Structure 1
Amino acid sequence: MPTPVSSIRNLGPASDASFARAGITSAEELREMGADAAYRHLLTHGSRPHFIGYYCIVMGLQGRPWNDCKGKEKDELRARFDAIVASVQEDKTAVPLGIEAILNDIGTGLRR
């Protein structure tokens, strides 16, 4: 039986739901993907970017508390986070967010 994503430190029931929407249904899958690939996967499946959420995953996969991320390490994680978000924003196959999703739902088409 797979272990829930929420069994990873720093991640709770809301994480189970977010990862499940992106097709990641177990802690084993998340560990195998790694933090960066899993977070990118979340974003391409409609989750909104949030830096603290990202570094909670990174810290959790290392077995560390979320607030253990400080100084240079936090700055480096911010750069990785920004790069992931930028790559998803350039990805035309990613699920649109915010107003773009609403406009698509009402049929006004893609932003030009």
Structure 2
Amino acid sequence: MAEGGTPITSIRNLGPAVEAACSRAGIKDAETLRSMGADAAYEAMVRAGTKPHFIGYYVMHMGLQGRPWNDCQGKEKDQLREMFDALCARARPAVARLEGLDAILNEIGVITPPRR
């Protein structure tokens, strides 16, 4: 956390693991995270080495809106999934295309796809 800044853990749904991942991405406090927004912050985290995980992404969105993590449903969740997929494509363009079980495991955040 930056000196004088509010801890990232003060944001609903976000705990110490997210705070550490944000720190690795240069996001030192809640004020910086809020000013960046969930999309830019999560992309910075992925570029800094955080393994992309859809649930973590939408949990951040919900937290920045002051909503419970499980409040994301239906059409909103579908739209966030599209945004997450686009974000991952920008942040990790060299990831090999996966098929079958590997694609499913990657989608739920269980495996890291091999780089080309």
Same fold, judged at TM 0.5 (above) = yes
Per the alignment, residue 11 of structure 1 pairs with: 14
Q: How many residues align?
A: 96
How large is the RMSD of aligned CA atoms in angstroms? Answer: 1.6
Residue 15 of structure 1: SS of its match in structure 2? helix
Length-normalised TM-score, structure 2: 0.78
Q: Distance in 2 between matches of 1:52 and 1:99?
A: 21
Shift of 1:90: 2.0
Q: Which has the larger radius of gyration?
A: 1
Percent identity between the two aligned chains? 59
User: What does residue 51 of structure 1 align with?
Assistant: 54
Give every structure 1 segment of 4 or more consecutive aligned residues whose post-TM-superposition deviation is greater than 6 Å. Answer: none
Letter in 2 for 1:84: L
Measure the CA separation in 2 of the matches of 1:99 and 1:48: 12
In structure 1, the gaps of 5 or more residues are: 92-96, 101-110
* Residue pairs, 1:1-112, within 5 angstroms: 1-90=4-93, 111=116
What is the match of residue 105 of structure 1? none
What's the counterpart of residue 108 of structure 1? Answer: none
1:42-85 CA distance string (max 9 Å, x none): 00000000000000100000000000000000000000000000
SS of residue matched to 2:92: helix
Structure 2: unaligned runs, 5 residues or longer: 95-111
